[in-house]
Amino acid sequence: MQRIKFIDKMIDGNLSRRQMMQAAGAFGVGTLILPRPSVAAEVLTCLEWGGYDSPDYFQAYVDKYGAQPNFSIFAGEEDALAKVLAGFAADVMHPCNYSVARFVNAGVAAELDTSRLSHWKDVFPALQSAEGVVWEGKTVMAPADWGNSSLAFRPDLLPPEFTENPTWAIFYDEAYKGRVAMSDNEMAIIIGAMVGGMPYDEAYKLEGAALDAAAKEWGTRAVNTSKFLWTDSSEVQQAMASGEIVAAYAWNDLVANLRNEGVPVEFAKPKEGMFTWFCGLTLLNTGKADEQAAYDFIDAWLSPETGKALIEGSGYGHANMKSFEIADKEAIANMGITDPVAMMADTIVFKTPTDAVQEGFNKVWGDTKALKY
């Protein structure tokens, strides 16, 4: 009986190698046949946006592996990059088209082998070859979700002259101090420069003295006018639903959620322009999990079923063309976007700044928002 218990403990990994060697002879168990304790496979670790850790978006992965990956939630891509560079061992990251190059240039992003993604053939061709998906001739991101960044506002709480001609200028207007909420992002500076008449193609790559001047004029105004600078979309959604704020920098999901609650809200196409983004999954070379698990997770995100969940649950578009065939037609209509090609042609697509420009924005925005906190 003791011999059986000893062997059971060996198999379960409850004995050290030294204990096994010392006791094996006494029970007649040769050391050459000692079973090695099983080593559990590393669990996939993903850097992800808040809300995207729901299995609705990667159910095929859960079905195959029987559990969710580990998630580390980030507030923005720069936060995620800093975490990886500090030694965090992530396998997959969910960046956007304008930020992928930061991971590539830092040497932490790996090229994707799209032949290992069963749903790649159903991704919109325009997204397969878009800047950010492809960087320096290599596919470095599998596009998944896409949508808009724009001005959401309560038409019942604003005067007709604004609702008929919405403008980003509301975030820099002293008359609306404490009634608007800008995102905690350097876009406050870029949009301000655009309000001042600068084209986006110049504003997104400001640097040096020009950047300092824009931050002082427009960044400071946005910080002082905003009730708060949001990082959590649920926070701004609640504030808009209660009427605490009347306008916010927002994404499609906020508008969809508020409309589902019966809150009157509009998603404007401001006279200065509406922005378009698309995000996806990037394979990192810093992780410890099996690479196939990473590919299975990415492929699950590209499935039409994930697209259906995304469209119906968040109001975002999805990269898989078949998603629009199976998603609820009313949800698609409420979303107002069905074709990324047409949307990108009619809006401002976020562009990728150089590393030096992005780091400059990071610094001046951090200094500027420190005035509020």
Number of neighbours of residue 336 by Cβ within 10 angstroms: 14
Task: Judge if 45-147+278-338 and 148-275+353-369 fold alike in CATH terms.
Answer: yes
* pLDDT value at residue 343: 81
- Residue 37 pLDDT class (50, 70, 90 cuts): very low
* pLDDT value at residue 163: 96
Average pLDDT over residues 257-284: 95
Could you give the CA distance from residue 133 to residue 54 in angstroms, rounded to a whole number? 24
Per-residue pLDDT of 115-128, as tens digits, reads: 999 999 999 998 99
* pLDDT value at residue 247: 98
Do 192 and 214 form a contact (C-beta atoms < 8 A)? yes
Could you give the CA distance from residue 12 to residue 10 in angstroms, rounded to a whole number? 5
Average pLDDT over residues 312-335: 90
* pLDDT value at residue 373: 61
- Among 24-38, 290-304, 317-331, name the most confident range: 290-304
Per-residue pLDDT of 126-168, as tens digits, reads: 899 999 999 999 999 999 999 999 999 999 999 999 999 999 9
- CATH superfamily, domain 45-147+278-338, is Periplasmic binding protein-like II (3.40.190.10)
Do 174 and 345 form a contact (C-beta atoms < 8 A)? no
Could you give the CA distance from residue 90 to residue 288 in angstroms, rounded to a whole number? 8
Per-residue pLDDT of 56-114, as tens digits, reads: 999 999 999 999 999 999 988 999 999 999 999 999 999 999 999 999 999 999 999 99
CATH class of 148-275+353-369: alpha beta
Q: Where are the domains of the chain?
A: 2-33, 45-147+278-338, 148-275+353-369
| Lowest model confidence (mean pLDDT) among 6-10, 39-43, 60-64, 158-162 | 6-10
Task: Round the average pLDDT of the chain to a whole number and report it.
Answer: 89
Cα 309–Cα 312–Cα 318 angle in degrees, nearest 5: 65
* pLDDT value at residue 309: 96
* pLDDT value at residue 111: 97
* pLDDT value at residue 43: 96
The phi and psi torsions of 41 (rounded to 5 degrees) equal -65, 145
